[in-house]
Amino acid sequence: MPEQGHDIDWRRVLGALSNAGTRTLFAELVLGKPLAQTGAGMKPAKRAAAIKGLESALLLIPGPQGPVLDPAAFRRALASGAPKERAVGVQRFLIGSRIKRYPASQAERFELLDWVVQRALNDPEQLNEAQVNERLSAFTGDIALLRRYLVDHGLLERTADGSTYRRAPRRA
């Protein structure tokens, strides 16, 4: 049987309680019945499976006379599913260093694109399209869209013939 204090996965709790027999047995325990007196109308194999389901979901913990409900189980399950830290700045739009979505706000989009260009391109270098694409591929699967946004936002300059790109000078 799992020990009290282990992390509870809320999905396992819901999975266990989605079974009608397990849910009935759990309800009897919540209402104060001792485990030995629960599941009176259940077949022994179904009752054993329900108890095992509650144990594997960490809803039952060892007690002096056998398994008992863990009174802190739901609090721990909710805490385990809570976000650890809220992302701020451009991190809200990234998974690792890859763009998960573009901000709707133009100011936030510019901030994200500026973050990308500072990491992908060095100031004096001039690159052809393949080189730019290679650098931008670290940030997105849709390289053409990212490249277009960088050009449209004035962060990436393209020569008139479209053969060469360079990082645009910083705005004052």
Read off the pLDDT of residues 98-115 as tens digits, 9 standing for 90 and up: 999 999 999 999 999 999
Residues 71-81, mean pLDDT to the nearest whole number: 83
Phi, psi of 3 (to 5 degrees): -90, 150
Phi, psi of 102 (to 5 degrees): -95, 135
Residues 158-169, mean pLDDT to the nearest whole number: 93
At 39 the three-state DSSP class reads: coil
Share of the chain above pLDDT 90, in %: 67
Residue bearing the bigger pLDDT, 145 or 73: 145
Q: Please give the Cα distance from 80 to 171 (Å, whole number).
A: 44
The pLDDT of residue 54 is 94
Residue 163 has, within 13 A of its CA and on its CB side, a CA count of 1
User: Cα separations (Å) of 104 from 28, 45, 72, 108, 136?
Assistant: 50, 55, 41, 8, 20
**Residue 46 burial (C-beta neighbours within 10 Å; 0-12, 13-18, 19+):** middle
The pLDDT of residue 82 is 65
pLDDT mean across residues, the chain: 90
Domain coordinates of the chain in residue numbers? 10-81, 89-167
The pLDDT of residue 62 is 83
Read off the pLDDT of residues 128-163 as tens digits, 9 standing for 90 and up: 999 999 999 999 999 999 999 999 999 999 999 989
Q: Does domain 89-167 correspond to CATH entry 1.10.10?
A: yes
